[in-house]
Every structure is written in C-alpha cells, then in structure tokens.
Structure 1
Amino acid sequence: EWENSIEPVTQLGIRLVKLRTGIVLSNDGGAFAEFKKPVRFGLAAILGSGKQIVSWIHVLDIVRMYEYALENKELSGVFNAAAPNPVTNKELTVAIAKKMKGNAFITIPVPSVALQLILGEMSIEVLKSTTVSADKIRNSGFNFLYPTIDAAINELLP
C-alpha cells in the first residue's frame, strides 16, 4: 500500500524509482551489529531453524544504487536493493563468526519460541524468509561491489 501512495507523481511526468531494500550490512549499527554481538563471546546464534533466507545488501552498494537511480534517467519502476546472492540465516551467522573468530566459536540454536518471548511480534520479521532477485537492477547495468556475503563481510570486518 505504501508503495502505491507515491504513484500519482508519475501522472505529473516525474520519473519514479522505488528501491525495496534488503537487510543493510553496515558497521554503523543495524542488523549487522546485532549479528556480531553474541559472536564476541564465541557464540554464533542461529535464529529459529536457521534456514530462513536473508536478502541483504552491503551499505556501499545501497548508496551506489541510490546514486545510480538518480543519475540513470532511463531507470524507473520497482527494483530490489539486495545482493544477487541471498543466504540463509545460518550461513550469514556462521560467515560472520568465522571472520571474527576463525573456528573458535560454537553455533547455538535460538528456538523460535524463545525469540517470540524475547522479541514479541518482531520475532515474525526475524524468522521469515525473504528471497528477492537482483536481476532487474543488474540487467539495467548496475554492478555490485559486494555480490557475495564473503566479499561483504571481508570488507566490513577487515
């Protein structure tokens, strides 16, 4: 619904680009900081089954995508602002843990019930899978600097 609220600007001849943003990985807070917290103590917290798909994007790629959308006058419509290689929650968590701790970490499952008790309704967002395709933005000519989770994490955690 919220996406449709901006549609009337197209009737005024204004070009409209909508970017549906995945989980932004950045050292300036957000989800990435939350994933890192238990790893500092040697624990890789796998949320729920760990099989839920996480559509993510490196912060520099999202900034570049906004610049691309502003500068590319032929671009219009809806695009997924997510890296072309989504991962599972477990893959993301383990990749972060390996970069931070090598092999010196333990994976611990955090059951869905525990997340519901701790997070309430927010647990629904944490436990759902979100698989989106970056094909449309890539086919328009956009190139990701960090297309894989390993490339993104290596840049964020040098």
Structure 2
Amino acid sequence: MRILITGGTGLIGRALAADLARDGHDVIILSRTPERYTGRLPQGVRAERWDGRTAEGWGALADGADAIVNLAGENIAGGRWTAERKRRIRQSRLDAGHAVVQAVEAAARKPRVVVQASAVGYYGPCGDDIITEDHPPGNDFLADVCVAWEQSTAAVEAHGVRRPILRTGVVLSTEGGALPRMLPPFKFGLGGPLGSGRQWFPWIHIRDEVRAIRFLIEHEDAHGPYNLTAPNPVTNAEFTKALGRVLRRPAFMPVPTLALKLLFGEMATVLLDGQRAVPQRLLDAGFSFTFEEVEQALRDLLSKQA
C-alpha cells in the first residue's frame, strides 16, 4: 500500500510510519522541513514538503494512494493557552484537514480511506460516566477543537472515501508524549497523583495505537468515530500507583490542584479532567488489545528503567 501521513514526525506518526514500512508498505510523511529527516527515516519511508495549509506541491501524491492518515495539528501541551496559542491549536488542525480535502478532490483515483485524528477531549469533562462513541461532545475549548478537527475532512465522504475517526486517549510511550515527563519526579521519590487523583485517565499503549490505526485502515467497513483507549481506563491515582510499583518508587506526593492551575492556567484541564472512555466500537469490530491493563503496559515500556 502507499500511505500518506500528515503529522508523520510526531509520536504517533513516527511509530505508525515505521511499523508500516517494516511490512513493506510505501510510506510518505508530509513535513514543512523534509530536509531535516534526510537519512533519519526508516527504510521505506520518505518525507515530502507541505505547507500545512494547502495541497500545493504534494497533492498529486494522493492520486492512487491507498490511505491518508491525517494526524497534523499543533501540540496542545506546548505551553500556556494564551488566546494566540488557542487560535493556532485550532487553526492548524482546520488547515491540515482542508489541505487533505483539496488533495482528495483533485485526485483522479481517490484514496480508499482518510483516517482522521481526534481525541477523547471531544467529550469534555464527564465525571465517572462510562463514555462510548455515541456520547455527545462537550462544551469546553478542547471539545470545540476536536469537533472542528473531525469535521475538517468530512467533505471527502461525498467523494466515496471512507473516513474512520481516531478519538485517542493518552498514548503511553517512552519516545515522547506524557510518560517521559512523568518519570523524573517518581525517580526522585516525589511521584504522586495530580489534584484529587479521582479524574479518569484514558490510556493506550503506543503499539496498540498503531495496531488500531492499521486495523481501521484495513477494514473496509470501519467508518465514523472510534475511541482509541485501552478497555480498562484507570483513575489518575490508580495510574500513579501502578507507575510507582513498576518503578519501585513511592507514589504518595500529590500535586495540588491550585498549583497546577497556577502553573498551567487553562491548560491544567488536560491534567485535572479526564474521560472514562472505552473502545466499544473497536471491540465490537473484533479488535484485540495487546495491553489491556495499565501495569502490564507500563512494565512493557519501563522494565529496563525500574
């Protein structure tokens, strides 16, 4: 298969590209600075330039491609949410989606599938409710971003292109994302829950994230939203206890809610609010998780660091 990945240099994109290339697929990642990756990409992966806003210069690659995986968007955890950063977070996702639509509309041979990224933030804070894919969206900033992100590529469906949507939770990996940032306090014996610790932590191992995306690419009846989260979400307190056990370090030093709000401002909602999201549609479709329990996942990732 020939597969294009926007956002292919991010945590999920890198892992997905490498996994696809190992199986002999032709993988093209789109980057504003492809020259940075010369000689650094796995065999079978190449980088092509794009501006993040239009199909100019790369759109022809969509003609006859098997799949486009649209992961592009500014990192929500890259700094405090000023008005300008919030605008860039939202606009970067809309621009990338519109570029994908342009490429699909211009393609004589349409891609079979466009896989559209999103996040469990779509649902907003939901307390202890169990969240499946039919739950309505929330009304906070992240929910608004996710709704717009998902809609940014909706127009490809009018061209007969299948479109699964990835509502991803917290991806656990040692190569980036949240987990490496959590490790230093634990290694010094200062780990503990964030705020009350009662908020839900919808996690997924990076290998299951990649496997689920490939499952949705390959299954012709997969369309619409899918929660990419492990079947057994845990609270933040349960996660930190599991992390402490794996690292053989204490996990009883809570970070006060007020301190997080002072440090991060509105962005603290990412840490203090969660969703008890479960992957109902993935399970119903026959997907089997390799890592269903959080301690099992953490031991796989961190066994050499414990």
Q: Do the structures match in fold with TM over 0.5?
A: yes
TM-score per shorter chain, which class?
Answer: over 0.9
* Alignment correspondent of 1:60: 207
RMSD over equivalenced CA pairs, Å: 1.1
SS at match of 1:18: strand
Q: Deviations over 1:37-85 (max 9, x none)?
A: 2101012221000000010100000000111111111111110000010
Q: Following the alignment from structure 2 to structure 1, what is the Cα–Cα distance between the partners of residues 160 and 212?
A: 22
Q: Does 1:31 align with 2:178?
A: yes
* Alignment correspondent of 2:188: 41
SS at match of 2:263: helix
Q: What number of residue pairs does the alignment pair up?
A: 156
1:1-158 aligned within 5 A: 1-101=148-248, 104-158=249-303
State the TM-score, normalizing by the size of structure 1.
Answer: 0.94
* Alignment correspondent of 2:94: none
Task: Report the AA paired with residue 54 of structure 1.
Answer: F
Q: Following the alignment from structure 1 to structure 2, what is the Cα–Cα distance between the partners of residues 60 and 25?
A: 9
Asked if 1 retains the 8 angstrom alpha-carbon contact of 2:201 and 2:275, the reply is: yes
Give aligned-pair identity as a percent.
38
Task: Report the AA paired with residue 31 of structure 1.
Answer: A
SS at match of 2:193: strand
User: Structure 1 stretch 133-142 or stretch 53-62: which is displaced more?
Assistant: 133-142
Task: Report the AA paired with residue 9 of structure 1.
Answer: V
Task: Report the AA paired with residue 287 of structure 2.
Answer: F
**Once the 2 structures are TM-superposed, how far is the Cα of residue 9 of structure 1 from its aligned partner?**
0.8
Flag structure 2 segments of 5+ consecutive residues without an equivalent.
1-147
SS at match of 2:210: helix
Task: Report the AA paired with residue 134 of structure 1.
Answer: P
Task: Report the AA paired with residue 155 of structure 2.
Answer: P
Q: Following the alignment from structure 1 to structure 2, what is the Cα–Cα distance between the partners of residues 63 and 2?
A: 20
Flag structure 1 segments of 5+ consecutive residues without an equivalent.
none
State the TM-score, normalizing by the size of structure 2.
Answer: 0.50
Structure number with bigger Rg: 2
Task: Report the AA paired with residue 210 of structure 2.
Answer: V
Higher relative contact order (CA 8 A, sep 6+): 1
Q: Following the alignment from structure 1 to structure 2, what is the Cα–Cα distance between the partners of residues 106 and 21?
A: 26
**Once the 2 structures are TM-superposed, how far is the Cα of residue 5 of structure 1 from its aligned partner?**
2.0
